[in-house]
Amino acid sequence: FQGIGGGPGPIGVHEMAERLIASGQFEGPAPRQHLSQNVEHSPIHNAWQAKRDRLIADDFPPHDVEVYSDYLMNKGPAYAQVGGVHDILKGSNGQTYAVERSDAVSARTLFESIEGIDIMTPGAVALASLQQALASGEIKHDAVTVLNISGGGVERLKRNHATTVIEPWLRVTKENGVAMILESIEQD
């Protein structure tokens, strides 16, 4: 179970599993992928549930949206490419989930109360999708699963240590990104 934005995380997991199986170190098949997105921005979930091998404009929200986990937003995920998210979902008999903010917040609170450490928002979305899968019967309560929490302890770090936000030296926009980068390099 993993939150997904662009796709490199689950693609890497699937490729590594296939390599380990091919090497004889483990038996197959590759693990089933369970991928989670914010309900407000869930192009991969929308395409997979519609049984499409490519993304279409309607998979994306028509306007900017506020989401629980901005780490999971990507306007160009690696879905249709050979070896991309569609292929790994198909190859692993995978499933996708769209998670409501309230469910992610509840999952985060549960994790923190049990484990004693704060987690980042992608992990909360992934945990909420695991809860969805258990509730719906998509997976059994005794199933062996791996949950990618993908980071934690940030709030504790902020409480215990002084932190400073570093401003980026360059901000680029989609419209003039290349020109801005070249101009900045020429000035240096």
What does the pLDDT look like over 60-69, one tens digit per residue? 999 999 999 9
Per-residue confidence (pLDDT) for residue 102, from 0 to 100:
98
Sheet holding 95-99, edge to edge: 2-3, 34-38, 95-99
In this structure, are residues 33 and 10 in contact, taking their beta carbons and an 8 Å threshold? yes
Low-confidence ranges of the chain (pLDDT < 70): 174, 188
What is the pTM (predicted TM-score) of this model?
0.85
Q: Which amino acid is residue 103, in one-letter code? A: D
Structural domains present in the chain: 2-161 (3.40.50.1100)
Give SS3 for 91: helix
